Chain A
Amino acid sequence: MNPMALRVVLGIAIAGVPTLMAGTWVSGAGKRLARIESGELAAEDADDEGKVAVAAAADEGYCNGDLRKILRRVLKSCGLLGTGEVRGCQPVQAKSVATMTGDDFNALFLPLQKKAGIIQFDKDSAELDPADTALLDKIFAAQGGASYFFVVARSSPDGSTDHNRELSQKRADSVMAHLRKNFADPALDREVGLLWLGEEYAQLAQDFCAWDRSGGADKCKPKDINRSAFVAWIDCRL
């Protein structure tokens, strides 16, 4: 063969190698892409959109069916679900919607101990002192994925029932006012549920002394622990 022709053939052959390889790889990728699009081939390595978890609120193991049902009922009846308004739940309402004894009601909150605390007030007072606000801030900041923050305010049996009902409402409002002032959270009204129970329903037993409290060690008699607002985040999706 003519040396020039040989060179031309050789040149085309060698230049064809990268061309052929590049072309094969690109068209191969194109075919795979088409097969992925048609669903023939699973996008198993990169396009995991379908498999990647979607961001969602926390839903802890303690959120069993019963708890969820009662929470929904309480939240709805007390105006916290649906309208998004914080209205709060008075003792009579709480008792009727919970349809359970005070002890059973309190038992609902037992699994929440890690994200709960008891803000203890002075006698006949709804003022938060520095220890109270410190504990409240700490607990509120530890929201994590929780959807609801319950403030369950109580009073000791000292004084009239009406006065205690009013006092416990003031305690709940005091907590809410502090949260509103210190945490610029636009979702606050959707998250925080206020219940004021006065002295009438679900008084805390002395067992709760072991919980995170703002009162000192000497303030754990039944009366002390019920001059309080029990605050807790609830990691349940409803």
Chain B
Amino acid sequence: MSPQPMPGRIHVAILLLACLAGLVFASVSTFDFAQHLDRQEHQLHCSFIPGQHAEAAPGESLGCQVTMMSPYSSVLRAVVWGGVPVSLPAMGVFAFLAFRAIDLFGRRGRGRRSSAALLFACAWIPVIASAVMGAIALFELDAACKVCIGIYGSSLVTVLAAGLAFASLRRPTDDGGDEGPQPSAGAIWGLGLVQLGTFVAVPILAYVTLMPDYSRYVGTCGKLRDTQDPGGVMVALDANDGAPPAIEVFDPLCPACRGFDRRLAASGLDRKLHRLAVLFPLEEACNWMVEGAVHPGACTISEAILCASEGKGPSTKAVIDWAFEQQERIREAAKADPNAAKSLVVERFPELGACVGSAAIQQRLNRGLRWAVDHELPVLTPQLYVGGTKLCPEDTDLGLDYSLTRLLERRGGEP
């Protein structure tokens, strides 16, 4: 008599396909992350179709880019350059689930039920991780990453299929007695968890072990001639007066600057620095070094920040936070009407109305730009100089925690 077909076989097949889909999406995400380990910029596969590249519109960031560059895309960033991408353990988990799904086909009797229970329990791991990451993307980053959504979807199908497979195998309809002694449920669970750990740990070990030594790049990107501020162009961003001075050259309407600010805050390293900003708006209206308005309205917003730093109403931080929050809106409005940026500032901070646009504040902003000329800085934002030593531009995103920690260590400060 031929053996009865395994109940829930279709569910296990769906489960296997979902795991493979999850593995593919997680692999694409890890690939995108890992290719940045050469410290260059690369296109991302921000598409539901694996392998397809996506281009962001000028001035916009793709959801995948925002997600990948966010502090949540990897862990252990201060230890490993860029950190370990969260999609790497996801690859391990999906590979493990795929392995257990295949394994389930070959199991009989009680062992099969325990195996299905293990599979169902472990299938919750990517679902829980997806829920957490999805919530972060939605509420914290306000960005939708298609590859991530692929992982979320695969995780959901995986757990549903695993649940249905488990439910269909709960009743001992086939005893499989012809296979001899079956391992105990405890053994199956114990071995399964060891396997899970191995599937996750081995790729991580390979990833970390094969990484180049990035510490040799720290502090090799130049220095400021001096960190003096005779013209009063710098704006203190915190009250950490005793900490090493960190001069930040930034444009309040530059998305990369906002991302940098958020990564710095998320790393917690901002508390180890005394941050001083030099405003460098990338807009021709006040900055002769750029052609056209890369970030329309940036001159006016920079003036508003300088006004706030002179105690004319809101705190500097409040204005910067508002500008970062409203970047897209301000840029769009200023693109259509050059006076719109000032109107938006006055609408939000009426007390700055008299100061923004005044000759004195325009001159102060100009002094900041000329400070950049005197120090022969590159025309780009953001830039960070810790104690006068430049943080390499390649280290301002994924490598921020790692490189900044080492830069601080080299200064003799506690990281």
- A residues contacting B by CB (< 8 A) are 3, 6-7, 10-11, 14-15, 17-19, 21-23, 25-30, 32-34, 36, 43-47, 49, 52-58, 137-138, 140-145, 182-187, 235
Q: Is B202 in contact with A32, judged by CB distance below 8 angstroms?
A: no
Residues of the A chain whose Cβ atoms lie less than 8 Å from the Cβ of B210: 23, 26-27, 30
- Cα A141 to Cα B38 with chains together (Å): 44
Q: Kindly specify which of B311-319, B372-380, B405-413 makes contact with the partner chain.
A: B372-380
Is B206 in the interface zone, CB < 8 Å from A?
yes
In the complex formed, the residue of B with least CB distance to A17 is B95
B108 to chain A, nearest CB (A): 10
Is B300 in the interface zone, CB < 8 Å from A?
no
Residues of the B chain whose Cβ atoms lie less than 8 Å from the Cβ of A53: 289, 378-379
Residues of the A chain whose Cβ atoms lie less than 8 Å from the Cβ of B230: 186
Q: Is B91 in contact with A22, judged by CB distance below 8 angstroms?
A: yes
Tell me the B371-395 residues at the A interface (CB within 8 Å): 372-373, 375-380, 393-394
- Cα A30 to Cα B411 with chains together (Å): 27
Residue of B96, B370, B394 touching A46 (CB-CB under 8 A):
B394
Residue of A26, A54, A57, A183 touching B37 (CB-CB under 8 A):
A26
- Cα A54 to Cα B91 with chains together (Å): 43
Is B198 in the interface zone, CB < 8 Å from A?
yes
In the complex, besides A18-B199, A26-B37, A186-B231, 9 extra interface pairs with C-beta distance below 8 angstroms are A25-B30, A28-B34, A32-B38, A33-B38, A46-B394, A143-B363, A145-B289, A145-B370, A187-B367
Q: Is B30 in contact with A22, judged by CB distance below 8 angstroms?
A: yes
Q: Is B206 in contact with A145, judged by CB distance below 8 angstroms?
A: no
A77 to chain B, nearest CB (A): 25
Residues of the A chain whose Cβ atoms lie less than 8 Å from the Cβ of B36: 29
Is B232 in the interface zone, CB < 8 Å from A?
yes
Would you give the 0/1 interface string for B89-129, flagging 1 where the beta carbon is closer than 8 Å to chain A?
Answer: 00110011011001100100000000000000000000000
**Given A18-B27, A30-B211, A53-B379; A46-B41 close (CB under 8 Å):** yes
Is B221 in the interface zone, CB < 8 Å from A?
yes
- Cα A45 to Cα B44 with chains together (Å): 13
Q: Is B362 in contact with A141, judged by CB distance below 8 angstroms?
A: yes
Is B207 in the interface zone, CB < 8 Å from A?
yes
Residues of the A chain whose Cβ atoms lie less than 8 Å from the Cβ of B95: 14-15, 17-18
Residues of the B chain whose Cβ atoms lie less than 8 Å from the Cβ of A22: 30, 34, 88, 91, 203-204, 206-207
How many residue pairs at the A-B interface have CB separations less than 8 Å? 166
**Given A22-B206, A140-B359; A185-B231 close (CB under 8 Å):** yes
Residues of the B chain whose Cβ atoms lie less than 8 Å from the Cβ of A21: 27, 30-31, 91, 203
The count of residues in chain B whose C-beta lies closer than 8 Å to any C-beta of chain A is 59
Q: Which 5 A-B pairs have the closest CB atoms?
A: A145-B288, A141-B359, A29-B37, A25-B34, A18-B91
In the complex formed, the residue of B with least CB distance to A51 is B378
Q: Is A55 in contact with B377, judged by CB distance below 8 angstroms?
A: yes
**Given A21-B27, A29-B34, A49-B393; A140-B99 close (CB under 8 Å):** no
B362 to chain A, nearest CB (A): 4
Q: Is B212 in contact with A33, judged by CB distance below 8 angstroms?
A: yes
- B residues contacting A by CB (< 8 A) are 23, 27, 30-31, 34-42, 88, 91-92, 95-96, 98-99, 102-103, 106, 195, 198-199, 202-204, 206-207, 210-212, 221, 230-232, 286, 288-289, 359-360, 362-363, 366-367, 369-370, 372-373, 375-380, 393-394
Q: Is B99 in contact with A10, judged by CB distance below 8 angstroms?
A: yes
Residues of the B chain whose Cβ atoms lie less than 8 Å from the Cβ of A17: 23, 95
Q: Is B379 in contact with A141, judged by CB distance below 8 angstroms?
A: no
16 CB contacts below 8 A, A to B, read A10-B102, A15-B198, A15-B199, A22-B203, A26-B211, A28-B35, A32-B40, A36-B38, A52-B380, A53-B378, A54-B379, A55-B376, A145-B288, A145-B289, A183-B360, A184-B231
Residue of B103, B369, B375, B376 touching A10 (CB-CB under 8 A):
B103
- Cα A145 to Cα B204 with chains together (Å): 51
- Cα A21 to Cα B98 with chains together (Å): 16
Q: Is A55 in contact with B359, judged by CB distance below 8 angstroms?
A: no
